[in-house]
Structure 1
Amino acid sequence: MAKKGEPEYRWNSGPFQIGIVPDGGAISRIDWIRPDGKGIINLLRPVTPEAIASGNPSNLGCFPMVPFANRLAFAEFEFDGRIVKVPANRPPSPHAIHGFGRSSEWQIERPTVDTLRFNHKHDDPQSGFVYVAWQEIKVTEGDVTIEIGVRHLGRTPMPYGIGLHPWFPGGEDVSVAFIASDSFATDEDMLPTARTVIDLGRDFSDGRMIRHNLALDAHYAGWHLEADMVWQDAGYSVKMLASDSLSNVQFYIPEDGKTFCVEPVSHVPNVHNRPEFKELGDLVVLDNNQTLTGTMTLIPTLHETPDSGLVDEDEVFGKPGNRDYSLVD
């Protein structure tokens, strides 16, 4: 279990080595031991001690989004005849983003052989968001599944949304493929303004190298709940599968192309304030003790290509018999 003052919890299960940062509930790493015995592959973007110490989950591998995903205009919305206000959590922007989970302390439960669960409670009667949220990581020999869930504990119903925000390593050789039915025009604050067709610059149905779409930040509805990501030079791919409840996806490629995000989410950003988008991905109104859950599964596969871009397992974790998979500074 994680001790107070030690920022990263390590868990080893099957061929995967998982890191959790309780401050923000972020997954710091998902390292996959290659089935051919030639080291490990970091499925998420590489994490540094500085990133772990920063206290910013956006610097890590994957963080939770709850009780809403992506942007919420001016940090407020109308629900059930009243105005609900939440913190504007990315100053100087007047908007809220990614919910409250990534700014909360998560408690890690004692893991089993193949399952690790961690959770946090949020209690704000003034806004109406009173809930317990959790993430549960389930490992098999071939994949890792992350469940994000929330249970409403308030006396009156509230609208909820959830999502996961993984960061993957970028590069000149990386391609991404997924199919969706709709996308959105956005304003200067990246808030959706209109439903649009998926133009050539946002069409990844046949797979495209991310280097051709730097600075892309697009939301998609009606996606087919799976994405294929290929690291050609490093010789591996990852298939992402999402549950039906994560019916939308946000795709983000920073300008430098060193990382990218494929974010399965349950709703259109700012649908709280744009009822015309409800049919393309709505919030779920939960009454007391009702839950909303979603899952993302990552399935890595090796390709027959040279072993470039690999991490030596002994360099990261020490020689066999001397590895500490629990806590690091």
Structure 2
Amino acid sequence: MSNDVSKHDETSPAGVTLKAGDAEVTVDPGLGCRLTSLRIGGSELLRQGAKYGAFPMVPWCGRIALGQFRNGGELHQMPVNHPPHAIHGTGRDTVWTTVRADDSSAAFTYDLGDPWPYPGRVTQLVELAPDSLTLTLGVEAAEDSFPAQAGWHPWFLRSLDPGESGASGESGEAVRLSFDAAWQEERGEDHLPTGRRIQPLPGPWDDCFGMPEGVDVTLTWPGRLELKVASRAEWVVIYDEQAEAVCVEPQSGPPNGLNTLPRLVTPIDPLEISTTWTWRSLARAGRTSA
């Protein structure tokens, strides 16, 4: 894969740290423009490590069946990086460029290239406020139109104090997820949507849900923090099958959507998606009411 950043070294672009109030976010353009840290009130919210944090999924989200998609009569093959499928796009494996940065916002870009077959440009805007973080992705076509998707894959820590065994009300208690989806995409044995929409099932999940009024998922670390993931997009993947973290992934289409629900990006019609994460301290609320 071109511009592979799996080996992050001292030649990679420097990370950018933004601050607002007691919130701090670090973005590493040399590691796929991934958020490597999100700290609120001194507590880290994201799982640490080169594969984790919160990375943009672009120019597709989730899996592409067998790594193949069509654009009109042309069949394209993407690298099969999660056999038997291709997963999560090429943006996370690419070195991005920092276009601008100030105390609380920054913009990053990269040019689409091999193995993606169509020229274009991707932009990520990161805007931090004392009680929110807004991320915006844009995908532009330089010449030919092509199907594309965009979204984010954050790894939120299951406990804000990893390693602690928190009983009810203690700081290490596991996060709770709350959301109300209109449907769940039935998942086949190949981990791809079958095309059937079903009533949402209880977890654990590695599943895509439909929210036609917009993504709205709340994560609550009891006694510590409440964080809401919102987006005008109507698709979200929930993944909570690991002990260390849970993922809430707003995205512009379902897994394998390049084939089943293509959204064409043209030179005059770019793709844009935003998500805003807002939070409030439950510890502070508890002290106030006491």
Query: Structure 2: how far apart are the matches of 1:41 and 1:134?
Result: 28
Which residue matches 1:250?
A: 237
How do 1:86-165 residues align onto structure 2 when only pairs under 5 Å count? 86-90=78-82, 93-124=83-114, 128-153=117-142, 155-165=143-153
2:18, 2:105 within 8 Å by CA — same for their partners in 1? no
C-alpha displacement of 1:272: 3.0
- Kept in 2, the 8 Å contact 1:71–1:97? The answer is yes
Structure 2: which 5+ residue stretches go unaligned? 1-8, 160-172
Please provide the CA RMSD for this pair: 2.3
1:77 partner letter: F
Cα distance in 2 for partners of 1:252, 1:156 equals 34
Q: Identity of paired residues, percent?
A: 25
CA 1:292–1:306: 2 relative to 1, 3 Å: closer
**For the Cα contact (< 8 Å) 2:184–2:197, is it kept in 1?**
yes
Note the 1:1-329 alignment, pairs <5 A.
Answer: 4-5=10-11, 9-15=15-21, 16-21=23-28, 22-32=30-40, 34=41, 40-45=42-47, 47=48, 51-52=49-50, 59-90=51-82, 93-124=83-114, 128-153=117-142, 155-171=143-159, 172-201=173-202, 213-214=203-204, 216-222=205-211, 224-233=214-223, 235-242=224-231, 244=232, 246-256=233-243, 258-274=244-260, 282-288=261-267, 290-304=269-283
Q: Secondary structure at the match of 1:129?
A: coil
Q: Give the paired residue count.
A: 262
Distance in 1 (alpha carbons) for counterparts of 2:151 and 2:58: 7
The CA distance in 2 between the partners of 1:240 and 1:266, in whole Å, is: 14
Distance 1:306 1:142, change over 3 A: closer
- Secondary structure class of the residue paired with 2:31: coil
Where has structure 1 moved over 6 Å in runs of 4 or more? Answer: none
Stretches of structure 1 that go unaligned for 5 or more consecutive residues are 35-39, 53-58, 202-212, 275-281, 308-329
SS in 2 for 1:288: coil
**2-side partners of 1:288 and 1:6: how far apart?**
30
TM-score between the two structures when normalised by the length of structure 2: 0.82
**What is the TM-score when the length of structure 1 is the normalising length?**
0.73
Deviations 1:158-183 (A, max 9, x none): 11111111110114531111121111
1:88-128 Cα offsets, whole Å, 9 max, x none, are 123xx02111111011111123312331111111124x864
Q: Secondary structure at the match of 2:15?
A: strand
User: Distance between the aligned counterparts of 1:143 and 1:127, measured in 2?
Assistant: 33
Aligned position for 2:168: none
